[in-house]
Structure 1
Amino acid sequence: MIIKRAIFTACAMAALATAQAQTPKVYTIEADKVKAHIEPTMYGIFFEDINLAADGGVYAELVKNRSFEFNSHLAGWQERQKNGGKGSVEVVDRTAQRPENAHTIKVNIESNTGSFGLSNEGFRGMGIKKGETYSFTVTARKPAGSLIKLIAELHNASGNVIGTGTLTPTSANWKKYNVKFTATATEDKASLYVWLKGKGVVDLDMVSLFPQHTWKNRPAGLRADLVQKLADMKPGFLRFPGGCIVEGRDLVNRYQWKKSIGDIDKRENIINRWNTEFAHRLTPDYYQTFGLGFMEYFMTAEDIGASPLPILNCGMACQFNTGQLVPMDQLDPYLQDALDLIEFANGGPNTKWGKLRASLGHPKPFNLKMLGVGNEQWGEQYIERWKVFTKAIKDKYPSIKIISSLGPFAEGKEFELLDKTFRGLGADILDEHYYKAPKWFLDNAKRYDNYDRKGPKIFAGEYAAQSVATGSPENKNNWECALAEAAFMTGLERNADVVNMASYAPLFAHVDGWQWTPDLIWFDNLRSYGTPNYYVQQLYALNKGTDVVPLLNDGAMVSGEEGAYATASIDKNTKELIIKFVNTTDKAKPVTFSINSTSTYQKTGTVITLGNYKKDAVNSLDTPTAVSPVKSTIGLSGKSVTVTVEPATFKVIRLKMI
């Protein structure tokens, strides 16, 4: 491996030396001629609960099936005994009293000696950090006369205790109990043991374990390292909660936002539609607790400076599954959900849903500006429902921009029907999706060059280059795919007067629990890393500028000629010129950028380089930054800058105006 790397480095250096001996190709930048405004929402984040992204991922709960609501009510749990302890566990059905949290367990301790209890395996194990404080909570009740002591223990993979806390239920009524303790070792495959001592009976529900240090240290909050990676992208928007989970395999299993807010133990669990979607990655233990619900989504968007973009079901289940439809005369509850959501996000304390938001700890409105009607729908049935939703929303909230689906494909009869229809109906924003081979992204960098400038705006809502085939479990987040996306994105930015939003998808994936690949950010129970694709997205988001200016080769845009792709923008806030240049070839390119501008520039600028890697280069948990940006400086000669762009490289150049 070391020898191969040395050979590759030597070859790259030789290519660089050859390039430096060549005459640089001259590109012209008309820095005073604004071509298009770049929206603050240009580069954002698409979140979906796939690949254990929520439960087992960004939602920091460590206990799987904490409220015993899986179809197999004790899934994730195993009865345990030690030192002669005896007992039994009974699942209690209380559907009539609490349909949203229908099951509890009754534990009968039959012996005064030893201990009896249950262990929980977590989400492919539990990630525990030495020195971290953990908060164990349980809702319990015990009949009079029962003297039950409860001991929570963390065990490492070898069975050793690495943290423990004790509490004693005291009430005959349901009551929440809590104990905190500190872990004595780090373990990525830990498990939780809940021991009960003392003869008697106790009822348990909502058995939970959270680290104290979550995102912004919110109790029972989000996993800090994963949210930090989102914040580090400085995204323009956060789309949530998906994806196909918005639709559900059937309408019973659709995402219902009103069930995802308020008290945690009143949020109705449902099975995740991705649990059996792919035969190659079956995950029958994949459920949604909605601990990460709409309130948390809105707050996270606010935390990271992103505009919230919720997507709602429009009365259609996933058309790749059941395709179940709500009759047109029964759409009112779905419409009301949309109207109520806008009031929840933006309403004042004198409104029903605004008052609820305030009672949940956020009196200030969330400033919702956009709303998606349906996820990846298509056909006449979608069009007729879209019309009803659009009229109802626009009649009450005319300023809300509606995101409209153009289906799951980037071309074809379904796409063409929706594109033509919605343009004729004056839609606000059209959502296009493409999961294609890297070559498609290179060939389609000009996709938006000839779109109608007076028509609807475009949201490139889901896209990712597929190294093998769309949906293949063999797809990799390699440099070839990331480089193709970087080239394609020059076309998005160059056409910012048409394309207002773009987001890679999917966002997160657990290394032991994924269903779909490639994905932007991978993680295990303790660590996480950004892929090469992540760094491409981040570089675009951090260096988007405010306005596009022409970058030309002999008067023409640079979009694939001789393997080069480029765009330029100015940032009126920082007074900088930003150049993005992608070299997709295996030869170094010496280039000169000649700047036509009334402004003058500082003598040195900043260069950020991502590339000169083999096409199959990837990042991993052990080498998280193998493919990552490197900063350097560059000198200017008047209004001209010369740089060599190495093979298979994406460069960003920032030049400060004086």
Structure 2
Amino acid sequence: MKSNLILKVIKCFTFCMFWALGVVTYADNKCLTIQRIERNSTVPETLYGVFFEDINFAADGGLYAELIKNRSFEFDDPFMGWKISGNVSVRSDGPFKSNPHYVRLLPANNKWRRTSLQNEGFCGIGLKKDSLYHFSVWARSLSEESQNLLIELGESDADTWGQVVASAQCEVSSSEWEKYSVTLIPNRTCEHAFLRIFHQGKGGVDLEHVSLFPEDVWKHRKNGMRRDLVEALAELKPGVFRFPGGCIVEGTDLTTRYQWKRTLGPVEDRPVMENRWHFTFQHRYYPDYYQSHGIGFYEFFQLSEDLEAEPLPVLNAGLICQYMAEDISQHAPLDSLQSYIQDALDLIEFANGDTLTYWGKKRAELGHPLPFRLKYLGIGNEQWGPEYVERLSLFVKSIREKYPDIIIIGSSGPKPDGADFDFLWKKMNELKVDCVDEHFYKDEEWFASQADRYDNYNRNGAKVFAGEYACHCRLDERNRFDAALLEAAFMTGIDRNSDIVSMATYAPLFAHYKAWQWRPDLIWFDNLDVVRSASFYVQKLFSCYKGTERLDITVEGLPLVGGLGQDSLYASAVWDAHRNAYILKLVNLSRNDQCLSIAESGIGKELCDRGEVIEFGTTCDSIDNRRDNNMLVVPKSYPIKVGSLHTLPLSVKSRSLSIYILYRKGK
């Protein structure tokens, strides 16, 4: 892994110089030799996927379609997210064991006052005109008489006489806890609406688990997900779906680590927990960021199935976030690790066990009698050091004994190189884990110089999972086209090395425009709309055109990796049996259009009867799609005429990604 260090330094220096000058020397037409590979050429179905973590309000306030914040009054401040008036109090002997808090509403004892609750949602509540919204609440009357509630949706800054855009009456008729529902239909679209509940009865009423869902959710499921966000994921055609993190797997202490068993069952009784991202960055501080676990492990498995992606859950390894740990005693002791290991074994049974097993029966009771066919399991997020290795070894031993076919994924830590990285790779191979999770959030020069990163990796050890990566531009860590293009250059190296790299997922996945902690991100959204970044389109193009068989593609015997004399060109090639087509991905980081051809040897004599070119580029490096124009940077395609491949001229515009799909004649 260190053998190419000097070459990489030279490449990095060269790229820095060209980048600063904004020019490169134009070169002669390059001739690509493209050949079949005799062994280990199959492209993994899992090569490109998605990684979900609840950061940037990705779950509550994002993918999870619930519109009410702190719906069970379980935040540290029970009224966070709520405005109250009149006679409202919090009590803690409610019907749900894990979420015992509820509110009691009594008359205001003044005819001019009103007892009410008002919820702000997540940076407001997004409402669409004439759409259906389902309000529900668990409630009981404090007397034998029914109590009336007025449910309103309103808009505080509305330029109209009244704030209300929808309203309905809800009658609480029982003195026992029951669930009540009404449907509201807004008369206009609002991005920052609120929910308000007026108590109109003469007696008291208790309310718990106040909820509001749009009718229009993914697959019309109860407790559903935002349809537009899931549709964006489906567009990527991911081969693998990693969840639930990320750093939230670790927690800031052992009590706040992610525990999958607590995310099953009725949503009313899934315990609410702080999100470790609400206080991580002082400059992006969100004390109202919690996890309702409305999307739990059952929903994650279900979503994986919807996306036709392999589920890849990640479990805590008995370590809290090591960046936050001040002492080894904060981690789970080795002699107390059995419950963590048992959680892993139980998860495999939950996903794969038949309905006669304890956890397989639980899955069936939730509505999925057939197994989820789990193949992959990550142990630990980006842990490091001997404390990780000694804990991981116990997991590996137990999982191998009971479930030898499970593909175990270990960690190489939070950095892409260095002493800790090398130590962990050595230990992962000694433990015989199947795959090692690498993370890299690096700058422009790093991505430009890493297309050959995996060319010389050991093919006899563990595979690579590039589990978290994104180009972070030094001067402006936000989504930009040039960052996406650099990611594409790097990903040609993943294409060429898919015999050793079995999975890759960009991170983070989602970000709310009004409530983010980290950027860049793949998909941005607000309360009404979704915006696909330039990086999204790079991921989509590489995933949708990953092919089925990797091919060897060289110029003068060397891969195109942006090296010396290669004029900032990068390339990969695959055969796609489903399309009966050759697919070439060409990235040009230079400021000049470049021309290439295909050598007569290899596939050059093949006849193709038609072709297509997809171009992804722009004249401005720093732009990206945005809310007021979500089509600023999008791929464009057009047909081309093709005969013998060696006679086909190839062109790659400056600062662009071009994908050639060349359909072979006949079958």
**TM bucket, shorter chain:** over 0.9
The answer as to 2:415 corresponding to 1:409 is yes
Query: How far has the Cα of 1:75 moved from its partner?
Result: 0.5
Counterpart selection for 1:594 from 586, 592, 599:
599
Q: Distance in 1 between matches of 2:103 and 2:548?
A: 57
Q: 2:144, 2:175 within 8 Å by CA — same for their partners in 1?
A: no
Query: How far has the Cα of 1:23 moved from its partner?
Result: 6.0
Q: 2:604, 2:645 within 8 Å by CA — same for their partners in 1?
A: no
1:268-307 equivalences in 2 (<5 Å): 268-307=271-310
- Give aligned pairs, total: 629
The AA in structure 1 aligned to 2:128 is K
Flag the 1:559–1:35 CA change in 2: closer, same or farther, 3 A. farther
Query: How far has the Cα of 1:454 moved from its partner?
Result: 1.2
Partner of 2:650: 643
Partner of 2:184: 181
Query: How far has the Cα of 1:69 moved from its partner?
Result: 0.2
TM-score by length of 1: 0.93
Partner of 1:109: 107
Q: 1:125, 1:525 within 8 Å by CA — same for their partners in 2?
A: yes
1:41-60 equivalences in 2 (<5 Å): 41-60=46-65
What residue ranges of structure 1 are gaps of 5+ in the alignment? 1-14, 81-86
Helix, strand or coil at the partner of 1:90:
strand
Helix, strand or coil at the partner of 1:603:
strand
Query: How far has the Cα of 1:484 moved from its partner?
Result: 0.6
Q: 2:30, 2:597 within 8 Å by CA — same for their partners in 1?
A: yes
The answer as to 2:200 corresponding to 1:194 is no
Query: How far has the Cα of 1:168 moved from its partner?
Result: 0.5
What is the CA deviation profile of residues 403-441 of structure 1, one whole-angstrom value per residue up to 9, with x for unaligned ones? Answer: 101100111121111111111222200000000001101
Q: 2:609, 2:664 within 8 Å by CA — same for their partners in 1?
A: no
Q: Distance in 1 between matches of 2:606 and 2:412?
A: 45
Partner of 2:16: none
Q: Distance in 2 between matches of 1:32 and 1:602?
A: 20
Q: Distance in 1 between matches of 2:411 and 2:609?
A: 47
633-642 or 504-513, which deviates more: 633-642
1:493-532 equivalences in 2 (<5 Å): 493-532=495-534
Q: Distance in 2 between matches of 1:257 and 1:657?
A: 48
Helix, strand or coil at the partner of 2:361:
helix
1:287-436 equivalences in 2 (<5 Å): 287-322=290-325, 324-436=330-442
264-273 or 25-34, which deviates more: 25-34
Partner of 2:124: 125
Q: Distance in 2 between matches of 1:606 and 1:173?
A: 65
Flag the 1:598–1:590 CA change in 2: closer, same or farther, 3 A. closer
Q: 2:37, 2:550 within 8 Å by CA — same for their partners in 1?
A: no
Q: Distance in 2 between matches of 1:505 and 1:613?
A: 26
The AA in structure 2 aligned to 1:396 is K
Q: 1:43, 1:502 within 8 Å by CA — same for their partners in 2?
A: yes
Q: 2:454, 2:497 within 8 Å by CA — same for their partners in 1?
A: yes
Q: Distance in 2 between matches of 1:146 and 1:379?
A: 64
Q: Distance in 2 between matches of 1:429 and 1:23?
A: 41
What residue ranges of structure 2 are gaps of 5+ in the alignment? 1-21
The AA in structure 1 aligned to 2:249 is V
The answer as to 2:612 corresponding to 1:606 is yes
Same amino acid, percent of matched pairs: 44
What is the CA deviation profile of residues 191-240 of structure 1, one whole-angstrom value per residue up to 9, with x for unaligned ones? Answer: 11111102110010000000001011112200000010000000001100
1:188-267 equivalences in 2 (<5 Å): 188-267=191-270
Partner of 2:555: 553
Query: How far has the Cα of 1:598 moved from its partner?
Result: 8.8
Q: Distance in 1 between matches of 2:106 and 2:230?
A: 41
Q: Distance in 1 between matches of 2:510 and 2:463?
A: 27
Query: How far has the Cα of 1:110 moved from its partner?
Result: 3.4
Q: Distance in 2 between matches of 1:110 and 1:55?
A: 33
Partner of 2:8: none
Query: How far has the Cα of 1:613 moved from its partner?
Result: 3.0
Q: 2:618, 2:633 within 8 Å by CA — same for their partners in 1?
A: no
Flag the 1:23–1:377 CA change in 2: closer, same or farther, 3 A. closer
The answer as to 2:590 corresponding to 1:585 is yes
Q: Distance in 2 between matches of 1:304 and 1:251?
A: 32
Partner of 2:80: 75
Q: Distance in 2 between matches of 1:229 and 1:33?
A: 37
Q: 2:585, 2:658 within 8 Å by CA — same for their partners in 1?
A: yes
Q: Distance in 1 between matches of 2:167 and 2:109?
A: 22
Query: How far has the Cα of 1:633 moved from its partner?
Result: 1.2
Q: 2:82, 2:119 within 8 Å by CA — same for their partners in 1?
A: yes
The AA in structure 1 aligned to 2:131 is E
Flag the 1:23–1:466 CA change in 2: closer, same or farther, 3 A. closer
Helix, strand or coil at the partner of 1:36:
coil
Query: How far has the Cα of 1:99 moved from its partner?
Result: 4.3
Q: Distance in 1 between matches of 2:41 and 2:561?
A: 17
Query: How far has the Cα of 1:599 moved from its partner?
Result: 7.6
Q: 2:144, 2:174 within 8 Å by CA — same for their partners in 1?
A: no
Partner of 1:619: 625
Query: How far has the Cα of 1:98 moved from its partner?
Result: 4.6
Q: 2:97, 2:269 within 8 Å by CA — same for their partners in 1?
A: no
Q: Distance in 1 between matches of 2:519 and 2:260?
A: 27
Partner of 2:639: 633
Q: 2:50, 2:241 within 8 Å by CA — same for their partners in 1?
A: yes
Helix, strand or coil at the partner of 2:46:
coil
Q: Distance in 2 between matches of 1:628 and 1:548?
A: 26
Q: Distance in 2 between matches of 1:380 and 1:33?
A: 40
Query: How far has the Cα of 1:111 moved from its partner?
Result: 4.4
What is the CA deviation profile of residues 568-610 of structure 1, one whole-angstrom value per residue up to 9, with x for unaligned ones? Answer: 0001222110100000001110111236339843332011111
Q: 1:154, 1:192 within 8 Å by CA — same for their partners in 2?
A: yes
The AA in structure 1 aligned to 2:204 is V
Partner of 1:9: none
Q: Distance in 2 between matches of 1:493 and 1:342?
A: 30
The answer as to 2:87 corresponding to 1:88 is yes
Q: Distance in 2 between matches of 1:493 and 1:171?
A: 62
Helix, strand or coil at the partner of 1:284:
coil
Cα RMSD over matched residues? 1.8
Partner of 1:656: 663
What is the CA deviation profile of residues 434-463 of structure 1, one whole-angstrom value per residue up to 9, with x for unaligned ones? Answer: 000011011111111000111110000000
What is the CA deviation profile of residues 281-312 of structure 1, one whole-angstrom value per residue up to 9, with x for unaligned ones? Answer: 00000000000110110001100111000000
Q: 2:444, 2:474 within 8 Å by CA — same for their partners in 1?
A: no
Q: 2:608, 2:645 within 8 Å by CA — same for their partners in 1?
A: no
TM-score by length of 2: 0.92
What is the CA deviation profile of residues 134-180 of structure 1, one whole-angstrom value per residue up to 9, with x for unaligned ones? Answer: 00000001122444211111112326211112210111111111111
Query: How far has the Cα of 1:181 moved from its partner?
Result: 2.0
Q: 1:225, 1:528 within 8 Å by CA — same for their partners in 2?
A: yes
Query: How far has the Cα of 1:558 moved from its partner?
Result: 1.0
Q: 1:32, 1:597 within 8 Å by CA — same for their partners in 2?
A: no
Helix, strand or coil at the partner of 2:395:
helix
Helix, strand or coil at the partner of 1:229:
helix
Q: Distance in 2 between matches of 1:594 and 1:367?
A: 44
Helix, strand or coil at the partner of 1:489:
helix
572-581 or 587-596, which deviates more: 587-596
Query: How far has the Cα of 1:130 moved from its partner?
Result: 0.6
The answer as to 2:481 corresponding to 1:452 is no
Helix, strand or coil at the partner of 1:632:
strand
Q: 1:34, 1:549 within 8 Å by CA — same for their partners in 2?
A: no
